Amino acid sequence: MDFEHLANALTLTNLALALFGVVAGTIIGSIPGLSATMAVAVLVPITFSMEPASALILLGAIYTGAIYGGAYSAILLNTPGTPSAIATTFDGYPMAKRGDGDLAVAIACYASVFGGLVGALALLLLAPPLSSVALAFGPVEYLWLSVFGLSLIASLSTGNVLKGLAGGAFGLLLSCVGVAEISADIRLTFGSSTMIGGIEVVGALIGLYCIPVLIDMVATPERHLKVEEGGRAVRFREGAAIAWKSRFNLLRSSIIGTVIGILPGAGGSVAGLVAYSEAKRTARPGQKFGEGEPDGVMATEAANNATVGGGFIPTLVLGIPGTPPDAVILGALLVQGVRTGPTLFEGGGSIVYTFVFGLFIATILMLPTGLLIGRYAYKTIVTIPKTILVPAVGFMTIIGTFAIRNSISDVMIMIVLGTVGWVLSRFGFAASPIVLGLILGPIAEQGFVQAWIIGDATGNLAGMFFGRPISLAIIAFTILSLVYPVIQGRRARRLIKTEAGAND
């Protein structure tokens, strides 16, 4: 790893590609329905005529930009632009609602850049050893990881855990619709051939998060987001101060993101959720997660951008894509004639190292471009009159959902599910548990079925489910995150009791 590779990455072409990639990615990612996977897939043909390293830099820059861009719509419209940004909505949208949208966009940018750098650093320095993490995770580990993710329902649905659990079960059922991934049965379609493809996760996300916002927006004449009166100083510095204060949160979330990014079966959405859950568990007294807590936005955004570097680790070392966009990039590399594997790092490492430095540069470029585009996006959403905002966003949900797999029925499902979600949310059944169920359902089911088959074949079912060290660690974390809020709540109540006398 010498400076020659850095110099290679710093050519004018590569810099221009990185800049273009980050800007294009950020914009694409901010449009609900246009995911990082699609952004990368669209650009693959263009890269055929490029040098492999330049092609990788362009694709990596788009990918990292798109993951960040997802934060805009999550914060300003309560709609995750990509699944990775689901947990960004939990605190980002409440922040925007109370008039702190610009601040949320700024801290999301800082966190994304930080997370991206940590992920890229891991890719640069630790790729071959870390790739073994991908292989250490078997079916059972994925099962318990998804259970851990589901345990977030309990802490997310403050107030009514039962309704949260019912919503989660509803989401898990929705995830079963269509042809089962690993068995060949067609489930819960009730004879309708339009349902065979199942419920598309991104479409469902758009519906469940965005349609309720639109329905609420039209019902009353109030403004969409609260705006502070008078011109306000740029809040980049305030954001930086907040980010500095939460540096441990940023670091922890970035590490979580990197590790989960390495797992081929998980991805950015799970990384964001786990990091959010951990940030919430270790919250300082007085932090109110779910009501506009900056740490919630930062945890998610740091983690999901760290999955970019993390995901490249198994992709480049093992030839196993860590995340769906990596799968596309891997395909593009094959066409380029680049063989992935440990030798890529040892022998002809120049492509890899040039690419990793390119990824660094792209991530750093995200700081100015991200803040700039973010500011513009915020201003647009805040100043645009509601009359045009509602139909424009509605139009975007339709075209975005259609684009995912070119299907009108997906759009229909999106609208119906969104309307149902709005009714449900009005009676205390929040959208997030349903979404968690929908996303984690397939991971849980596949892990369970595979673990059961393997355990049954080797005659050791109990050992399969409860006898593997990583599984046990995840189970311990799950129990901890379930029990901890109860203890915390009791402690807080005791605190309030003792303070109550003084305040009255």
Partner 1 sequence: MFYLKTAKSLVIASAVSIVAATSALAFPDKSVEYIIPFGPGGESDISARFQQPYFKDKFGQDLVVSYKPGGGGAVGWAQLNSMASDGHTIMGINLPHIVIQPAEKDVGYTTEDIHTFYMFHYTPDAIVVTADSPYKTLDDLIADAKANPGAVTMAGSGKATANHLAQIRFDKLAGIKTTYVPFKGTGASTTATLGNQVKAQWGYTTVGAAQGDAVRMLAVAMEERHPLFPDVPTFKELGYEMVGGAYRGMAVPKDTPAETVQRLSDMFGEINADEAFRKQMLDGGFALLDVGIDGMDAFMAARKAEYIEAATDAGLLN
Partner 2 sequence: MTDTSSKSAPKDIGTLLIASLFIGLGLVTLQDVSTYSDTDSVVFPTTVAYALIGCSAMVILASWLRPNPDNGFGGGDWWRRILLVASMIAGCLVMPLAGFLPATAIAFAGGLIAARHEGWDLKSAFVFALSGIFIMAAFYALFRYPLGVPLP
Residues making contact with partner 1 (CB under 8 A):
37, 41, 44-45, 48, 134-139, 178-179, 181-186, 191, 193, 196-198, 200, 264-265, 314, 318-321, 324, 326-328, 330-332, 334-335, 337, 339-341, 343, 405-407, 442, 446, 449-450, 453-454, 456-459
- Applying CB under 8 A, does 154 fall inside the site for partner 2? no
How many secondary structure helices (H) and strands (E) does the chain include?
Answer: 21, 2
Choosing among partner 2, partner 1, none, which partner's interface includes residue 405 (Cβ < 5 to 8 Å by kind)? Answer: partner 1
d(CA 385, CA 51): 46
Using DSSP, state whether 233 is helix, strand or coil.
coil
Tell which positions 9-48 bind partner 2, by CB under 8 A.
34, 38, 42
* Smallest separation (angstroms) from partner 1 to the CB of 226: 40
Residues 369-408 that bind partner 2 (CB under 8 A): 386-392, 394-396, 398-399, 402-403, 406, 408
330 binds, among partner 1, partner 2, none (CB under 5 to 8 A by kind): partner 1
- Binding partner at 197 among partner 1, partner 2, none, C-beta below 5 to 8 Å by kind: partner 1
Residue 223 in the binding site for partner 2 (CB under 8 A): no
Q: Which does 124 bind (CB under 5 to 8 A by kind): partner 2, partner 1, none?
A: none
* Residue (of 119, 111, 8) closest to 57 by Cα position: 8
Least Å distance between CB 393 and partner 2?
A: 8
> Which partner from the list partner 1, partner 2, none does 158 bind, CB cut-off 5 to 8 Å by kind?
none
Residue 322 or 442 having the CB closest to partner 2: 442
Tokens at residue 471, please? 């599984």
Q: How far is the CB of 95 from partner 2 (least distance, A)?
A: 23
Q: CA nearest 99: which of 188, 230, 190?
A: 230
Question: What is each CA distance from 86 to 39, 258, 409, in whole angstroms?
Answer: 19, 18, 23
Instruction: Pick one of partner 2, partner 1, none as the site partner of residue 136 (Cβ within 5 to 8 A by kind).
Output: partner 1
Q: Using CA atoms, how far apart are residues 36 and 350, in angstroms rounded to an integer?
A: 26
Output the six-digit token pair for 198: 């199942």
Considering only the stretches 98-106, 122-130, 247-255, 424-432, report the one whose residues sit in contact with partner 2 under the rule CB under 8 A.
Answer: 424-432
Q: Which two tokens stand for residue 199?
A: 């419920």
**What are the start-end ranges of the H helices in 246-293?**
247-262, 268-281
Give 440-496 as a 3 state SS string. Answer: HHHHHHHHHHHHHHHHHHCCCHHHHHHCCHHHHHHHHHHHHHHHHHHHHHHHHHHHH
Distance in Å, CB of 258 to partner 2, minimum: 30
Buried b (16+ CB within 10 A) or exposed e, 329-357: bbebbeebebebeeebbeeeeebbbbbbb
Q: Which CB, 452 or 484, lies closer to partner 2?
A: 452
Smallest separation, CB 183 to partner 2 (Å): 4
Which one of partner 1, partner 2, none is in contact with 139 (Cβ closer than 5 to 8 A by kind)? partner 1
Residue 339's binding partner out of partner 2, partner 1, none, with CB under 5 to 8 Å set by partner kind: partner 1
- In eight-state DSSP terms, residue 340 is P
Cβ pair 84, 210 in contact under 8 A: no
Sole binder of partner 2 in the list 415, 454, 470, 475 (CB under 8 A): 415
Q: Are 189 and 177 in contact (CB under 8 A)?
A: yes
Taking the complex as a whole, the smallest distance from the CB of residue 22 to partner 2 amounts, in Å, to 17
Exposed, middle or buried, 264 (CB in 10 Å: 0-12/13-18/19+)? buried
187 binds, among partner 2, partner 1, none (CB under 5 to 8 A by kind): partner 2
Question: Could you give the CA distance from residue 363 to residue 26 in angstroms, rounded to a whole number?
Answer: 11
For 195, which DSSP code? G
Binding residues with partner 2: total (CB under 8 A): 65
| Distance in angstroms (rounded) separating the CA atoms of residues 321 and 265 | 9
461 lines the binding site for partner 2 (CB under 8 A): no
Least distance in Å: CB of 257 to partner 2?
27
Which of the listed partners (partner 2, partner 1, none) does 3 bind, with a CB threshold of 5 to 8 Å by partner kind?
A: none
CB of 43 to partner 1, least distance (A): 12
Q: Does 482 bind partner 2 (CB under 8 A)?
A: no
Question: Are 244 and 453 within 8 A, CB to CB?
Answer: no
Q: Is 448 in the site for partner 2 (CB under 8 A)?
A: yes
CA angle 272, 344, 3 (to 5 degrees): 85
Residues lying near partner 2 in the complex (CB under 8 A) are found at 34, 38, 42, 160, 162-163, 165-166, 169-170, 172-173, 176, 180, 182-185, 187-188, 190, 211, 214-221, 386-392, 394-396, 398-399, 402-403, 406, 408, 411-412, 415-416, 419-420, 423-424, 426-429, 441, 444-445, 448-449, 452-453
